[in-house]
Amino acid sequence: MNSIYGNIINGVEEKEGEKLEVRSPVDGSLIGYIINSSRETVERAIQASRNAFDKFYISSDIKSRQKLIEKLADIVQEKADLYSELESKNTGKTIRQSTFMDIPVAISHIRYFAETNEFQFQRKITHPEYPGTEGIIQNAPMGVVASIAPWNVPFLMAVWKIIPPVLAGNAVVIKPSHYTPLTAMELVKDIKTAGFPDGLVNLINGTGKSTGNYLIESDNIDMISFTGSTSTGSMVMQKAAKNIKKVTLELGGKSPNIVFSDADLDHAAKGIIFGIFLNSGQLCESASRLIVEESITQTFLSKIEGHLNAFKSGNPMDFDTDISAITIPEQREKIEVMIEKTVRAGGKVFYSKKMEGMPDKGIYFPPTLISGIKAGSEISDEEIFGPVLTVYPFRTEEEAISLANDTKYGLAAGIWSSDVKRAGRVASMINAGTVWINEYHLLSAAAPRGGFKKSGIGRELGLEGILEYTQTRHIFYGNNESGMSDVAYSILIKSQ
């Protein structure tokens, strides 16, 4: 009998309702079923969050919330192997990646929020116009945050969508992707074990079209925190406008890696491979465009091919497998169609890794390198979200910057050069929320991340990421020492 993964409302798992299959991309096996939550269930979850918010915000402060967050980090740490296994089984990412990256990075991010002292509830100001008066500026919570997460990094995204809003004093209703709910569910159960009040974080499962839509259409939420594709993000923003809800959007990318001829080419080759082939290219900031100085293009590509030849394909649940599965069948189809179109338009697939040893019914796509792309082609501008790297040679620094910025997205970029001054100069010209110099994909919980252009609005992580979940309240402590209010009031109330 396969498991049913229910909704978690008021600390209780509910398993009634329409069922949807959850399958593993590793081998196509049935993992279990989730509930496709109805509008009534969604509204009940939101109300549970609202009831909990009213009590939690008043009865807790930042320090007491941080104690609970720290307890949660300890609990997740204890269960790290279970989390890694669930994450890999559900997404097809290699067990090595889950064990040594996704889960420990997420735990370190939980700990950052447990420990940071950058976020303060309030600060004092003086009002230069009114000597003797004082003001307090508060970072008040939004209330009930509707968090919506994608399928590609389910655990880390659940952490980002739950912990910062809770630290800021909010309650949360989270909807994970209906393809990959397992680790988010485990996290919400552990949140209860850590001692957070029931109902503070509720989880509802279901598809975006039904459950996700009910969540963002509700007038009983105060904010939407969305991570997903740019097209869905645009629709979410339109719905948020209808009810005047604050919205943050973490969307897609088409990130470039620029390699100058003076870079440490061995280190750069590893970084470029890590940038695009980690998680089989299914990361929002995957660096799918390689912009490489023409004089070193062939030498550099040979280094990349050398690494790819040594990659081991196989079952992602084996520790020595290097290549992750593609998480959902629709995604593999999208990758195939985009490559076909690129080839028809004159692009050349000059490398495709020979793959073997994977389970028969799993979903896989080989690491692929493409050149000969014309400017403005679909593969240069649209997110491919797969293990596909397109190559663009350049001759001058200006040309490299122009190629890098020639996209509607602006999430991340990498620059590889031993000339740190030049790298810094180029970084400041790149329209992206994160620019790495001589590294890629190294996330820090202290550093705000998010998109320029169509990669999104708002930031996650760091102080800026926490402040997104707040609204500013100014409290004015009056005192007519200066006589200024007498002057002001007399404008309306003449010498009475």
212 lies in the site for ligand NAD, by CB under 6 A? yes
With respect to ligand NAD, which residue has the nearer C-beta, 149 or 291?
149
What is the closest distance, in whole angstroms, from the C-beta atom of residue 239 to ligand NAD in the complex?
7
Single out the segment in contact with ligand NAD by CB under 6 A; choices: 56-64, 69-77, 203-211, 352-360. Answer: 203-211
Q: Cα(491)–Cα(468) distance, rounded to whole angstroms?
A: 39
CA angle 424, 249, 138 (to 5 degrees): 90
Stated length of the chain: 496
Contact status: 361 vs ligand NAD (CB under 6 A): no
Separation of alpha carbons 55 and 67, rounded Å:
18
Contact by Cβ (8 Å): 323, 387: yes
Site for ligand NAD, residues 253 to 282, rule: CB under 6 A = 253
The number of beta carbons lying within 10 Å of the beta carbon of residue 320 is: 10
* Chosen residue from 22, 73, 148, 292 binding ligand NAD by CB under 6 A: 148
Rounded CA gap, 68 and 428, in Å?
39
Q: Which one of 9, 45, 272, 284 is in contact with ligand NAD (CB under 6 A)?
A: 284
- CA–chain centroid gap for 190, Å, is 21
Of positions 17, 281, 359, 456, contacts ligand NAD by CB under 6 A = 456
- H or E element, residue 46: helix 39-59
Residue (213 or 438) nearer to ligand NAD, CB: 213
Among 6, 17, 92, 150, binds ligand NAD (CB under 6 A): 150
Is 465 one of the binding residues for ligand NAD (CB under 6 A)?
Answer: no
What DSSP character marks residue 449?
A: B
Q: Which is closer to ligand NAD, CB of 268 or CB of 461?
A: 461
Q: Reduced to 3 states, what is the DSSP secondary structure of residue 84?
A: helix
- Residue 232 makes contact with ligand NAD by CB under 6 A: yes
For ligand NAD, the binding residues in 411-430 under the rule CB under 6 A are 411
Q: Are 362 and 27 in contact (CB under 8 A)?
A: yes
Report the nearest approach of ligand NAD to the CB of residue 450 (Å).
7
Identify the CA nearest to 147 among candidates 167, 165, 173: 173
Residue 448, CB half-sphere, CA atoms under 13 Å: how many?
15
Near ligand NAD by CB under 6 A: residue from 235, 237, 265, 343: 235
Task: Find the binder of ligand NAD among 41, 99, 152, 288 (CB under 6 A).
Answer: 152
Per CB under 6 A, 312 contacts ligand NAD: no
Nearest of 368, 396, 198, 378 to residue 295 by alpha carbon: 396
> Measured from the CB of residue 1, what is the shortest distance to ligand NAD in angstroms?
26
The pair of three-digit structure tokens given for residue 328, joined into one six-digit string: 């959902």
Packed helices 397-405 and 420-427: angle between N→C axes, nearest 10 degrees: 40
- In the numeric block, the tokens 């790495």 are attached to 436
* 250 in catalytic set: yes
87 binds ligand NAD (CB under 6 A): no
CB of 460 to ligand NAD, least distance (A): 6
How many Å apart are CA 93 and CA 179, to the nearest integer?
Answer: 14
Pick out residues in 362-391 that bind ligand NAD (CB under 6 A): 383, 385
Q: What share of the chain is helix, strand, coil (3-state, %, to 5)?
A: 40, 20, 35
Q: Is there binding between residue 145 and ligand NAD (CB under 6 A)?
A: no
Query: Cα separation of 25 and 424, whole Å?
Result: 41
One of 78, 186, 217, 284 is an active-site residue; which one?
284
Q: Which range in 147-155, 187-195, 422-430, 434-442 contacts ligand NAD by CB under 6 A?
A: 147-155
Alpha helices by DSSP H, listed for 278-406, are 297-310, 329-344, 378-381, 397-405
Residue nearest to ligand NAD (CB): 208
Which range binds ligand NAD by CB under 6 A, 94-102, 166-174, 201-209, 300-308?
Answer: 201-209
Specify the stretch interacting with ligand NAD by CB under 6 A; choose among 170-178, 193-201, 391-399, 424-432.
170-178
User: Pairing state of beta strands 456-457 and 19-23?
Assistant: unpaired
- Among the listed residues 87, 186, 250, 468, the single catalytic one is 250
Structure tokens at 136: 């307090």
Q: Is 210 in the site for ligand NAD (CB under 6 A)?
A: no
Among positions 88, 227, 434, 470, the unique one binding ligand NAD when judged by CB under 6 A: 227
Q: What is the spatial distance between Cα 163 and Cα 39, in angstroms, rounded to a whole number?
A: 25
- The HSE-up count of residue 351 (CA atoms within 13 Å, CB side) is 20
Could you tell me which of 268, 304, 258, 305 has the C-alpha nearest to residue 432?
258
The site map against ligand NAD for 97-126 (x = CB under 6 A) is: ------------------------------
Q: Is 151 in the site for ligand NAD (CB under 6 A)?
A: yes
For ligand NAD, which stretch binds (CB under 6 A), given 40-48, 181-189, 232-240, 352-360? 232-240
Instruction: State yes or no: is 284 an active-site residue.
Output: yes
Structure token digits, residue 364? 């896989």
- Residues labelled catalytic: 250, 284
Given the rule CB under 6 A, which residues bind ligand NAD? 148-153, 175, 177-178, 207-209, 212-213, 216, 227-229, 232, 235-236, 250-253, 284, 383, 385, 411, 451, 456
